[in-house]
A and B are shown apart, each in its own frame.
Chain A
């Protein structure tokens, strides 16, 4: 069966510090991968999605970036965090246009 992992689970970072969040999927090949952000009490905002290694599409201009160095690994990064980057970051995978399955999430607080 397929599983999706995210780490860390919780992160507290100062403004201006770098960020690296990792997502890995097991049990499937060539998945579509997605990064979402959810601000407190709000809906989900799609940040990036990827259909293959090195292929990244950005949905919202921001100071975040994403990379997919391996088929089942998706990384979200920032060189300098802003207060507005605080939120709950969710990674998801799908096979083509089928149902997306979400990871456990990373709660990021920028102080």
Chain B
């Protein structure tokens, strides 16, 4: 069974600090997605990582993918309060009908303290 695990599950950090969220998965998927969810809201796509060694950056967030280690990281640089949210990673899997579906990680709830 495909599993996607994130750690930490909860992260409280001070503004201005750096931290990394980890996403481990148990299959040979070559594509990984990161999403952000604000409280009570839907999911917003952040990054799509399509190959081994892929790195994407947007503002204070940088995501990378190591398909050999089956690991993706989401690095936060100099955190600000606006980054407080829950972050999910997801990987592709093939469903029973042969089409692609996502398997989501458990989510990391990030709180940035002023």
Residues of A in contact with B (beta carbons under 8 Å apart)? 32, 34, 42-44, 46, 49, 51, 55, 57, 59, 90, 92, 94, 96-105, 107
Residues of B in contact with A (beta carbons under 8 Å apart)? 31, 33, 35, 40-45, 48, 88, 90, 92, 95-97, 99-107
For B88, list chain A residues within 8 Å (CB).
43-44
For A98, list chain B residues within 8 Å (CB).
48
In the docked arrangement, what's the CA distance between A105 and B105, Å?
Answer: 19
Partner of A57, one of B42, B95, B103: B95
Q: Is the CB of A51 within 8 A of B99?
A: yes
Residue in chain B with minimal CB distance to A97: B100
For A101, list chain B residues within 8 Å (CB).
45
Partner of B101, one of A43, A49, A90, A99: A49
7 A-B pairs with least C-beta separation? A97-B100, A102-B43, A57-B97, A44-B104, A102-B42, A51-B99, A105-B42
For A96, list chain B residues within 8 Å (CB).
100
With A90-B42, A90-B43, A101-B45 as given contacts, are A57 and B96 in contact (CB-CB < 8 Å)? yes
Residue in chain A with minimal CB distance to B48: A99
Q: Is the CB of A43 within 8 A of B107?
A: yes
Residue in chain B with minimal CB distance to A57: B97
For B33, list chain A residues within 8 Å (CB).
99-100
Partner of A32, one of B96, B99, B105: B99
Residue in chain B with minimal CB distance to A101: B45
Q: A32-B99, A32-B100, A107-B40 provided; 7 other pairs, C-beta below 8 A? A: A34-B101, A44-B43, A46-B101, A46-B102, A96-B100, A100-B90, A102-B42
In the docked arrangement, what's the CA distance between A90 and B96, Å?
Answer: 21
Q: Is the CB of A57 within 8 A of B102?
A: no
In the docked arrangement, what's the CA distance between A9 and B95, Å?
Answer: 29
Q: Is the CB of B102 within 8 A of A100?
A: yes
